[in-house]
Structure formats: structure tokens, C-alpha cells
């Protein structure tokens, strides 16, 4: 529903892609047969979207041929590979079709020097997400080995079917529990949109002007960020990443708060005893978070406040989308009236851990699969991930709205704040608890701090 509501002029280009390194002696025919087994096995890869008089309908077609396209380009040498991949990516994107299919397009790019070739896999976003790629590449490895061995392809169970999850969302939307969770979102709605500074206030925020700037955290700081930094306040990585974003954006905007749309993996408990651990599809959740940070406040205060805010989110944020798009009209209308966020944040995880493929490994090369036309949904997009042992932050912005040096300043400030937080959290003197650590106590932060202080002093709590 969110995707269709965007009104993209090129909806077929809303896709994700992975470039795989293929062994020079790979059996290409076996690789195609392995992909056929994947599209037969995973329902979401056979998704179709049809528009009728009463609105859009999503359906899953039956397994069979024609579930994907296969394009083989001319062999290239090393220096030619990057432009060849970009051209092949554009070709594959134009082969995707929401109503008639396919939603999967594959391109084989041989290496003229006899080194490893490349397989470019482009899949429309409505059929895949970050977790799905891990499942698909594991299954591709399994299927290819079985095909080349001459045995029938037997893939691991796909767990709960994607349509079962979709039906469960509709049932959840009609429950009293969801109505109560929707009320939490309404009660915590921001009172207004905090406007971020822009260099060109009258610029057009269009996809044709989109640019990206990426900054990195050092290896040692990254190791601390994904490991020991979370012992001090019992945090998760999003707690620190969003706390750093809160301090960066509020300082930049000169405000104490800012609304950010946060993406999550979405594979949360929605009832029905579903198991989505090996189900391919688009499960991403998207929900607004009102981040706050007071100027010059101690780092622990920002960290604790952000952590507690994220712990309070019903179903880790998933219930917002269910209520917003599937809930009864009064609830959906109230959520639709929320002040719009001007930026989004998405932590994609540790790339090497989440996407691996045995014989077929991600090459680290990428192509642009974003739509080339239409309005951008946000002023700024923040995409974070760990690759090759280093934390990366990629900021998407419109060239008509911001100068590169402005975004560079924001990015550098974020990395500086995050590094400061990590250094603080690994300091042996840094420690603290928050109410979510003692959910049965019913204490707020001030009350908990008072109790813990008395205990530390040897007094009765």
C-alpha cells in the first residue's frame, strides 16, 4: 500500500540488485535451472500486481517457465566491467513488469580474461528485502550443486507462505489489540514537522537530482560498535545509531526534536504462529520516530532516552504500518494526518554476514536501481551498513536542495558523534540501566536511577 501510494512514474524501477562473482568454469545452463527452482519454490518471486476498478490486487502465479528473464552480454575485461554492469542493470530494470511479470531479471556478464564472471540479479522490491537475499543466495548455492550433480533439487522449507503473512496482517488490523497499539501511535504523534535546513529553499526535490555521499567509521571503532559498546547500557545497534542521528539533526536544525521514518526488517510477531525465518518477500516495516536530544546534554541521557523510545514501540514499529494502511478509516486517517518526516533511516546490517552465497559471492559492485523520475519521498535518506569491517553511512540528498559541502558537514558530524558515543560506551566507568531492563518494576528513569543509587550506597531500595 505504501509503495502504490507513492505514485511513482516508473514503478517497475523500484528494485534491488546484487552482483555475484561467478567462477570461470561455472555451468551457466545449470545456473539458469537453479534460478528456475528458486522461482518455483518461493511464492513472492511470482508476485503480480493488477489494477482494477476497485483498486490494486496482489496475486501469486503458479510455478513454471517465464518467471524470470535471462540476458547474456558480451564478454568484457576488468576496466570495462563497471560501465558494462551499469548498462546491463538498466536493461534488466526495463524487463520488469508488475502486472505481467517477471519481477526477476538476471544478467550474465562473462569475463574476457578468463577470470571470474558476474551474474547480476535484479528483483523488484515488492518481492524481496535484505533478509530475503540471504535466503535466496543460500538456496541458489544448494540448487546449483544439486543440478550439477544430476539430482532433483530439494530446497529447505520456505517456512510460512508469503500469502499467509499477508492474510494475517489483515486479520490483525481488525483486532482490539491493534486498535490499542494504534492509539499508542496517535498519542505519541509529533505536534509538528521540524524543518531541516536547506541551502536552496525553492529547489525541486526530484529523483533526477538525487546524489549520495558516503562516510565511514574506522575499523577499531566499528568493532566496538558491533560488539562491546552495548554492554554499558544494554543497547542494540539501532539505539546508538539513532541516538547519534538525534544529536546530529537536532544540533543542525537548532531544535530539540526531529521526526525520522525508520525502516525495520518487519519480520515481527503479528500472530497466527507464523515462521518467516526462510520466507522470501518484502516484509520491511516503516514507522515514524520522534527523536529528541537536548543541547549539550550528557551522552548517557541521549542514549538512554533513545533506547527507551525504541523499546516502547508496539511490535517494534510494525503495528504502525498495519494500522496506517489496513486499519479502520478513523485510525488510518488519524495516522495519515501525522506531520511528515523529512528524512528516513535504515540500518541494513553487516553485509558480509547477511548476504553470502557459497560458490556465488557478492562482488561488492553495485548498480543504481532507484527510479529516475518522480518526487523523492524525503529530503534526506540515511542508509547505514557494515561492509568489509567498516561502518558506512550513505546520505541521499537532492542537488537542488543541498550543496555537497553541507551534506559532508552533516555526515562528518554524525561520524564524530557516533565515535564519541562508542568511546564513551566502552569506557569501564560507563554503565547504566533503563526502565525496559526491569519491565515488571513499573519505574520511570528518575525513579530507577534513585533506586539504583540507594542500592549502590548500600541502602535499602
Average pLDDT per block of 10 residues along the chain, 461 residues long: 88 91 91 96 94 90 87 90 93 94 95 90 95 93 96 93 93 95 91 88 92 96 97 97 97 93 94 93 95 92 96 95 94 91 93 63 81 88 93 97 98 98 95 89 87 82 70
Peptide bond into 290 cis (omega under 30): no
Q: Is the pTM value of this prediction over 0.75?
A: yes
Alpha-helical (H) ranges within 150-236 are 162-173, 176-187, 219-225
Q: What's the pLDDT score for residue 79?
A: 87
What whole-number distance in Å separates Cα of residue 221 and Cα of residue 215?
Answer: 14
| Placement of cell 526462510 in the chain | 278
Q: What's the pLDDT score for residue 353?
A: 55
Q: Tell me the backbone φ, ψ of residue 263, rounded to 5 degrees.
A: -95, 140
Peptide bond into 102 cis (omega under 30): yes
Cβ 345 vs Cβ 211: under 8 Å: no
What whole-number distance in Å separates Cα of residue 378 and Cα of residue 398?
Answer: 9
Cβ 287 vs Cβ 262: under 8 Å: yes
Q: How far, rounded to the nearest angstrom, does the alpha carbon of residue 220 sit from its chain's CA centroid?
A: 25
CA distances from 344 to 39, 307, 341, 377 (A): 31, 18, 7, 9
DSSP state of 415: H
What whole-number distance in Å separates Cα of residue 444 and Cα of residue 80?
Answer: 60
Phi-psi label, residue 69: left if phi above 0, alpha if psi -120 to 50, beta otherwise: beta
Q: What's the pLDDT score for residue 78?
A: 83
Q: What's the pLDDT score for residue 372?
A: 77
Q: Please give the grid coordinates belonging to residue 144.
A: 546449483
Q: Please give the grid coordinates belonging to residue 170.
A: 489483515
Amino acid at each position: 500500500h505504501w509503495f502504490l501510494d507513492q505514485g511513482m512514474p516508473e514503478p517497475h524501477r523500484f528494485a534491488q540488485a546484487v552482483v555475484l562473482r561467478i567462477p570461470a568454469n561455472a555451468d551457466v545452463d545449470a545456473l539458469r535451472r537453479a534460478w528456475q527452482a528458486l522461482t518455483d519454490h518461493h511464492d513472492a518471486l511470482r508476485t503480480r500486481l493488477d489494477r482494477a476498478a476497485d483498486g490494486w490486487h496482489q496475486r501469486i502465479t503458479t510455478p513454471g517457465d517465464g518467471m524470470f528473464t535471462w540476458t547474456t552480454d558480451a564478454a568484457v575485461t576488468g576496466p570495462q566491467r563497471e560501465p558494462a554492469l551499469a548498462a546491463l542493470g538498466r536493461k534488466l530494470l526495463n524487463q520488469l513488469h508488475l502486472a505481467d511479470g517477471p519481477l526477476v531479471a538476471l544478467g550474465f556478464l562473462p569475463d574476457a580474461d578468463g577470470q571470474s564472471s558476474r551474474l547480476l540479479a535484479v528483483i523488484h522490491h515488492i518481492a524481496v528485502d535484505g533478509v530475503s537475499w540471504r535466503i535466496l543466495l543460500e538456496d541458489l548455492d544448494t540448487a546449483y550443486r544439486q543440478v550439477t550433480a544430476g539430482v532433483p533439487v530439494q530446497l529447505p522449507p520456505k517456512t510460512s507462505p508469503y500469502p499467509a503473512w499477508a492474510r494475517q496482517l489483515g486479520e490483525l488490523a481488525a483486532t482490539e489489540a491493534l486498535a490499542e497499539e494504534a492509539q499508542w501511535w496517535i498519542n505519541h504523534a509529533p505536534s509538528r514537522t521540524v524543518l531541516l535546513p536547506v541551502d536552496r529553499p525553492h529547489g525541486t526535490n526530484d529523483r533526477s537530482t538525487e546524489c549520495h555521499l558516503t562516510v565511514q567509521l574506522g575499523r577499531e571503532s566499528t568493532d566496538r560498535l558491533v560488539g562491546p559498546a552495548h554492554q554499558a547500557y544494554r543497547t542494540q545497534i539501532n539505539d546508538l545509531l539513532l541516538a547519534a542521528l538525534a544529536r546530529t539533526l537536532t544540533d543542525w536544525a537548532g531544535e530539540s526534536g526531529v521526526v525520522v521514518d525508520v525502516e525495520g526488517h518487519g519480520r515481527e510477531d503479528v500472530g497466527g504462529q507464523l515462521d518467516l525465518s526462510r520466507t522470501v518477500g518484502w516484509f520491511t516495516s516503516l514507522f515514524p520516530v520522534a527523536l529528541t536530544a537536548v543541547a549539550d546534554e550528557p551522552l548517557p541521557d541521549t542514549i538512554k532516552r533513545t533506547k527507551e523510545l525504541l523499546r516502547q514501540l508496539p511490535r517494534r514499529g510494525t503495528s504502525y504500518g498495519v494500522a496506517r494502511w489496513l486499519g479502520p478509516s478513523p485510525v488510518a486517517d488519524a495516522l495519515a494526518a501525522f506531520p511528515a518526516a523529512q528524512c528516513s533511516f535504515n540500518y541494513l546490517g553487516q553485509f558480509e554476514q547477511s548476504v553470502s552465497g557459497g560458490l556465488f559471492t557478492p562482488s561488492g559492485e553495485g548498480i543504481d536501481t532507484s527510479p529516475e523520475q518522480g518526487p523523492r519521498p524525503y529530503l534526506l535518506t540515511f542508509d547505514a551498513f557494515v561492509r568489509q569491517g567498516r561502518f558506512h553511512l550513505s546520505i541521499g540528498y537532492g542537488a537542488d536542495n543541498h550543496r555537497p559541502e553541507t551534506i559532508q558537514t552533516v555526515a562528518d558530524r554524525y561520524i564524530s558523534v557516533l565515535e564519541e558515543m562508542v568511546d564513551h560506551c566502552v569506557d569501564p566507568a560507563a554503565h547504566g540501566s533503563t526502565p525496559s531492563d526491569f519491565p515488571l518494576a513499573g519505574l520511570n528513569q528518575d525513579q530507577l536511577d534513585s533506586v539504583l543509587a540507594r542500592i549502590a550506597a548500600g541502602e535499602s531500595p
